[in-house]
Chain A
């Protein structure tokens, strides 16, 4: 009895060992590409660096020097501004698109395909493409189109107040359709009988939307909200390519500031990491706040 049990447990241990061995290559890659760099950026932010070398431990000096500069405060405010505009322009739109497509009785597949198309295009190419639309020249596409209605040529990208909404518009053009498909799937799981029953009880279309459809996607919307905030908080190459952060740092984002410290000529990886750590901390706080409220809500349910 005892020996048999022992043999079985040895076989089991061997099996567990093999299982870990199978996962090992993937785990090593996750460690190298995801986990270790995260820790490393925290460590590097506390060091004075020269090129790829850590010269000496300097505590929080990188943070003090980075946050003490004017461009940091500007980038921080801009990043919140990006988030604000992204929620204003980009959050409800996919819900609306999903509702519209969901109601069509014919051509649903066609509409779905069409709105998803921009999401497949390379983000970099999309930004360059739209830069021609917002070009201040008279050959800029919006200047051509609006010129037909007598609107004088505008220099869109040199307006400090316009650049962030414009960048968010472009990002929304690219991403809204894909998000709409996620909402459509959520809406498709609502049983049509609910609508039928409500209709028989005399509920108008509008009442059905407010009392059946919207509550059904509330949880999904919460998840997508936090994902949207996380992703827009890291906006970087869009302003880098479209405006170089200008005019006068009006569209400079935190991640772009990080990139400038690291690869903008000065190769100050320590300071770049300090910015990255600050962004990470802000994201962690936001995620924690979100999950706190999310938990409370599910307690009520």
Chain B
């Protein structure tokens, strides 16, 4: 892009100086090094997955002796990962739906409808951004138990409907929408809810995409609350399974690495499909990680 080349401290004019040219070479070198550092561990784990246990614990070579995909297939079948994938899929889909509907409607109320007293709620939500949920995971788990919702996806899905970060992002986006369009809808006799579905939602594709991507990734990677709620049951997700493996050490090191690969494949696919949206919107959402 034209404009992209023009940002940056080093200007075209500087490139005539030898020392700046050397410096620029160094910058490129460091950038390439950075890419290697970011990608190498991933490549390694994929290669390591081809090793069997004996080779994994004793071989001092990065490369496996053979590239037989059979080892992956064996682990997949032995551990019954297919079922966990299915569970993860269910968990992710429900979480994304909840994340969009509940946070979206709350954001609509705070960003567009703005009834009296909405400011206090907005402040409360901003404040909850600073108080992350792990801290209160114990009472939350107790509440879930007391409601008899253990071993069920319902509390986990709904937990994605209560994300302060997503609410704030919706509010910011809705506030940037031109008021005249929403006003026009109201004059045409739409109710508040109709305005949301007929006017606001169709305009909100960008923010919905971003939040959906982030919710997919967050739900896929989530394991603490899912572990507490789903442990021992038949609904365990891929990450819950991996967490159980890692804390109970019931599987061999080579099987563990293949499970790691299985757990990384969906996020990597997601990443390559949506890399543009991700790297461009990381600005706003990345803060939360």
Contact = CB atoms under 8 A, between A and B. Distances in A.
Given A22-B192, A124-B243, A114 B45 contact: no
Contacts of B37: 173
A89 interface: no
A144 B20 CA distance: 37
Interface in B158-207: 158-159, 161-162, 164, 167, 191-193, 196
Interface in B85-126: 101-103, 105-106, 108-110, 113-116, 118, 121, 124-125
A273 B224 contact: no
B143 interface: yes
B132 A231 contact: yes
A100 B34 contact: yes
A100 B10 CA distance: 11
A221 interface: no
A101 B130 contact: no
Contacts of A19: 109, 113-115, 118, 192
A141 B34 CA distance: 18
Given A34-B162, A103-B8, A178-B286, A23 B13 contact: no
Contacts of B110: 23
A113 interface: yes
Interface residues of B, number: 106
Contacts of B145: 52
Interface stretch (A58-66, A73-81, A185-193): A185-193
Given A25-B105, A181-B286, A255-B134, A33 B140 contact: yes
Contacts of B128: 30, 34-35
Contacts of A90: none
Interface string B43-69: 011001000000011111110000000
Given A19-B115, A34-B133, A97 B34 contact: yes
Interface in A107-127: 107-125, 127
B217 A120 contact: yes
B34 A208 contact: no
B162 A26 contact: yes
A175 to B, nearest CB: 6
B75 to A, nearest CB: 14
Interface string B122-151: 001100101111111111111101100000
B115 A20 contact: yes
Given A40-B136, A188-B7, A236-B134, A129 B164 contact: no
A4 interface: no
B32 to A, nearest CB: 9
Main secondary structure of the interface of A (DSSP, over half): helix
A138 B60 contact: yes
Contact of B35 (A108, A114, A137, A236): A114
Contact of B271 (A112, A117, A234): A117
Nearest to A145: B62
Contact of A114 (B34, B58, B124): B34
B222 to A, nearest CB: 9
Given A40-B143, A122-B221, A15 B228 contact: no
Contacts of B9: 99, 102-103, 195, 205, 208-209, 212-213
Contact of A26 (B56, B161, B191): B161
Nearest to B15: A105
B35 A15 contact: no
B229 interface: no
Contact of B270 (A38, A120, A187, A279): A120
Interface in A234-282: 234, 236-237, 240-241, 255, 258, 262-263, 269, 272-273, 276, 279-280
B58 A139 contact: yes
Contact of B11 (A114, A119, A181, A196): A196
Interface string B221-251: 1011000100000000001001100110000
B267 A122 contact: yes
A101 B30 CA distance: 9
Contacts of B30: 100
Nearest to B98: A29
A103 B39 CA distance: 21
Q: Which 4 A-B pairs have the closest CB atoms?
A: A26-B106, A37-B136, A23-B109, A40-B139
Interface of A: 15-16, 18-20, 22-23, 25-27, 29-30, 32-38, 40-41, 44, 52, 97, 99-105, 107-125, 127-130, 132-133, 137-139, 141, 143-144, 147, 173, 175, 177-179, 181-182, 185, 187-188, 190, 192, 195-196, 199, 205, 208-209, 212-213, 224, 227, 230-231, 234, 236-237, 240-241, 255, 258, 262-263, 269, 272-273, 276, 279-280, 283, 287
Given A15-B115, A97-B34, A133-B41, 14 more contacts: A20-B115, A23-B106, A36-B139, A37-B143, A103-B8, A112-B279, A117-B42, A121-B268, A123-B221, A125-B221, A139-B59, A190-B7, A205-B23, A258-B138
